Amino acid sequence: MTRTSAAGGGGSASLAGEVAFVTGAGSGIGRSCAVALAARGATVMVTDISEAAAREVAAVTGQPDNFRRLDVSDPRGVEAAVADTVDRLGPLTVAVNNAGVGVPTPYRTAEVSDEEWRRVLSVNLDGVFHCVRAEVEAMLRNPERGRRGRGSIVNMGSVGSLVGLAGAVTYTSAKHAVLGLTKATAAEYARDGIRVNLVTPGYVDTAISPRTDEEKAALGARHPMGRLAAPEEIAGAVCFLASADASFVTGAHYSVDGGFTSV
């Protein structure tokens, strides 16, 4: 797999002075987001259900103390993590709600168990709701900061937010719902200076991906660009939406899918 260079570098907006909270930041897309936000100058709280993974990524960001274990399906845990971030790092201005589970399976809707439905929805939908609620509540306490507003929330969607993915009804349902959650919250808080947007990636080639080279090639071929995304390509869009360059962007879904949903 040929990887493109990391998004960012010259020309990307500075995030100096921002305090960012990232969930599911221990691997894959979330890890890239944490690293990219820090590289642009943000102070970043790295959270993941795996404390070891969060610790390792915090070290990579150059902010080794800024990590904590967080299971986003636990609403009180989310509230405590957001409050702790504000206490330790200052007013929350950026949030990336990325934690997620669930990959396409060989089975279809009629075979989905109650347990599987709850397992995926509790993280991919309930978890995003818990985070957005706590983050908005924290951001409403921030003073207005001109074009930067009070804060920017970026939720992690998927092509499954926009089209139906066979073998992934739970995942698709959650990701569609997160699009609605994003739009409704954006509309509610637009006049409070809080922007809320969704990034909708195609399939991403992550280092921990269990896919074989053949599976990667087949998945890549489903994208008009003929390949999978590098996680850094998703992180670049997240950083844009987090920044003042996106100061008039809210309630949007931003596709980073190599053309997957354009055909």
Catalytic (active-site) positions: 171
Rounded to an integer, what distance in angstroms lies between the CA atom of residue 10 and that of residue 223? 28
Task: Lay out the sheet containing 94-97: strands in order across.
Answer: 67-69, 43-48, 19-22, 94-97, 151-156, 194-201, 253-256
Rounded to an integer, what distance in angstroms lies between the CA atom of residue 214 and that of residue 101? 23
In whole angstroms, the minimum distance from the beta carbon of 174 to ligand ADP comes to 12
**Residue 27 touches ligand ADP, criterion: CB under 6 A:** yes
**Residue 157 touches ligand ADP, criterion: CB under 6 A:** no
The interface region with ligand ADP, picked from 6-14, 49-57, 146-154, 161-169 by CB under 6 A, is 49-57
Residue from 128, 178, 186, 204 binding ligand ADP (CB under 6 A): 204
In whole angstroms, the minimum distance from the beta carbon of 231 to ligand ADP comes to 7
**Chain CA centroid to CA 240, Å:** 13
In whole angstroms, the minimum distance from the beta carbon of 69 to ligand ADP comes to 8
Which residue has 């950026």 as its token pair?
A: 94
Beta-bridge mates of residue 154? 96, 197
8 Å CB contact between 128 and 178: yes
In whole angstroms, the minimum distance from the beta carbon of 124 to ligand ADP comes to 9
Contacts of 118 (CB under 8 A, 6+ apart): none
Residue from 24, 149, 151, 258 binding ligand ADP (CB under 6 A): 24
The interface region with ligand ADP, picked from 6-14, 33-41, 185-193, 202-210 by CB under 6 A, is 202-210
Tell me if residue 154 falls in helix, strand or coil: strand
Contacts (CB under 6 A) with ligand ADP, residues 71-130? 71-73, 99-101, 123, 127
Binding site for ligand ADP (CB under 6 A): 23-24, 26-30, 48-50, 53, 70-73, 99-101, 123, 127, 204, 206, 208
